[in-house]
Amino acid sequence: MTATIIDGKTIAAELRGKVAFEVAQLKREHGVTPGLAVVLVGQNAASEVYVRSKSKAVVEAGMTPSDHKLPETVSEAELLALIDKLNKNKAVSGILVQLPLPPQIDPQKVIAAIDPAKDVDGFHPVNVGRLSLGLPALVPCTPSGCIMLAKMVWPSLAGLDALVIGRSNIVGKPVAQLLLAENATVTVAHSKTKDLPALARRADLLIAAIGKAELVRGDWVKPGAIVIDVGINRVAGDGGKSRIVGDVAFDEAVKVAGAITPVPGGVGPMTIACLMLNTLRAACAQNGVKAPRL
Ligand SMILES: Nc1nc(=O)c2c([nH]1)NC[C@@H]1CN(c3ccc(C(=O)N[C@@H](CCC(=O)O)C(=O)O)cc3)C=[N+]21
């Protein structure tokens, strides 16, 4: 038996299509066009690729992009001044400051400066707190995408033994909160966890978000489990070219799992689609419009 491959690319395209439909309606009925501001500090080839694909998705969804490129040497004060301007700009529904930031800038200070209502990354302490309290919040995009992909193959996660490998503020912790909200039984593993392979073999749902290329081997996977691979690791490929692999050894895991996401074409595209959804939701909330159920 070989696993169902969860096609994140197609599922993300469908979600972006639904967002575009709702954006058109929001414009028609309320005269509101959502806008997303993306702030990129410095020149990082990978970050520039992400920022470009975000802007493209924003335009395709009928929303207004505004890209802000700041030099690597920009001061924290200058970045905070830009955020203040974006917070006050009514045409800007969502603000995303691309991470990581250069060392002279404290990312927590920057995140805390974003208006929580415009925090489409869901990284502001207000949104983090609201998520953990089970209150409506802007939820981080990659974690939302993981849950949506898992539910495509297993609509109720209630009672599943879920293992999250990785405890970052960006993925591990928020995805654990979302899994709890889905009534899964959640374990969060990390670099100090004892006997990770044995723990992994007990998981009905395994979410790998540690950023270590192909750490999760085929024999770590419980037969029939759902495997969601958040990793994006660039490794040396054939002929001196680099290629992208996940945190899961796909070729091994696909033989054991019930369903698995590929890299690329899994969680990554869902991250962008969920960012579009968050921007739409933020625009609705800022304009007193009931957000669509998507
Ligand atoms: N404030 C902030 N928010 C973020 O959400 C954020 C960030 N900073 N910093 C960088 C990471 C990375 N990230 C990705 C988004 C989409 C893909 C994506 O679409 N990947 C495709 C293509 C991969 C490729 O070919 O490069 C895929 O997996 O199929 C990947 C990675 C968002 N991030």
Tokens of 245: 């692999």
Q: Average the pLDDT over 134-154 and give the result.
A: 98
**Cα angle: 154, vertex 275, 64; to 5 degrees:** 145
**Res. 235: pLDDT tops 80:** yes
Q: Average the pLDDT over 109-115 and give the result.
A: 98
Span 8-30, pLDDT tens digits: 999 999 999 999 999 999 999 99
Task: Answer whether 13 contacts ligand 1 (Cβ < 6 A).
Answer: no
Q: Do domains 18-118 and 141-269 have the same CATH topology?
A: yes
Q: What is the pLDDT of residue 54?
A: 94
Task: Answer whether 97 contacts ligand 1 (Cβ < 6 A).
Answer: yes
Is 194 an annotated catalytic residue? Answer: no
Q: How far is CA 158 from the centre of its chain?
A: 22
DSSP state of 291: P
Q: What is the pLDDT of residue 58?
A: 98
**Res. 1: pLDDT tops 80:** no
Closest CA to 15 of 63, 55, 61, 62: 61
Cβ neighbours around 196 below 10 Å, total: 18
Q: What is the pLDDT of residue 7?
A: 98
Is 108 an annotated catalytic residue? Answer: no
What is the domain partition of the chain in residue ranges? 18-118, 141-269
Q: What is the pLDDT of residue 37?
A: 98
Rounded CA-CA distance 73/80 in Å is: 14
Rounded CA-CA distance 290/293 in Å is: 9
**Res. 162: pLDDT tops 80:** yes
Nearest-atom number in ligand 1 for the CA of 8 is: 29
Instruction: Spell out the CATH class of 141-269.
Output: alpha beta
Q: What is the pLDDT of residue 50?
A: 85
Span 172-206, pLDDT tens digits: 999 999 999 999 999 999 999 999 999 999 999 99
- Give the architecture-level CATH label for domain 18-118: 3-Layer(aba) Sandwich (3.40)
- If one residue of 271, 274, 277 were mutated to test the ligand 1 pocket, choosing by the most ligand atoms within 8 A of its CB, it would be 271
Tokens of 283: 């625009």
Give the CA distances from residue 226 to residues 73, 145, 147, in Å, rounded to whole numbers and listed in that order: 43, 14, 11
Rounded CA-CA distance 93/78 in Å is: 21
